[in-house]
Amino acid sequence: MNKSGEWGAARRFFIILMDVVAYIFSVYFSFWLKFGGTIPTRNFQTFESSALFISVFFIILNVLLGTYVFYNRIVSDIVFVTVIGQFLMSLGIMIITFAGRWFAFPRTVILLSFLLGTVLLIIYRTIIYKAYMKLSSDKKVTILGIEKDVAPAIQNFSSQKNNKHKVQSVVLDHFYDNLAEIIDDVDIVYLASEIDESEKIRVYQLVTKKEKKLFLNTTFENLVTINPNIMNFEDESIIESSGFRIPSEDAMLKRLFDIVVSLVLLVIASPFMLTTAILVKVTSPGPIIYKQIRITQKQREFPIYKFRSMSATAESKSGPVLAKSNDARVTPVGKFIRAVRFDELPQLINVLKGDMSIIGPRPERPFFVEQFNQENPYYYLRHNVRAGITGYAQVYGKYASDYNSKLKFDLLYIKKYSFMLDLKILLQTIKILFDKVSSQGLEEDEICTSLDKMDFPKEKILQ
The model's pLDDT over 161-213, given as tens digits with 9 standing for 90+, comes to 777 888 889 999 889 999 999 999 999 999 998 889 999 999 999 999 999 99
pLDDT digits (tens, 9 = 90+) for 217-261: 888 888 988 888 888 887 788 888 888 999 999 999 999 999 999
- Whole-number pLDDT of residue 283: 86
- Domain boundaries defined on the chain: 9-135, 139-217+449-462, 248-432
* pLDDT tops 80 at residue 326: no
Query: Is the pTM of the predicted complex or chain greater than 0.75?
Result: yes
Per-residue pLDDT tens digits for 285-317: 888 998 999 999 999 999 999 998 887 665 555
pLDDT at 16 over 90: yes
To the nearest whole number, what is the mean pLDDT of the chain?
85
139-217+449-462 CATH: 3.40.50
The three-point CA angle 422-424-430 to 5° equals 110
Amino acid at 219: T
* Distance, CA of 410 to CA of 391 (rounded, Å): 8
Rounded CA-CA distance 293/296 in Å is: 10
Residue 341 confidence (pLDDT): 84
- Give phi and psi for 195, each to the nearest 5: -125, 175
Note whether 399 and 432 are within 8 A (CB): no
pLDDT on residue 439: 43
Please, what sign has the CA dihedral across residues 15, 21, 27, 33?
negative
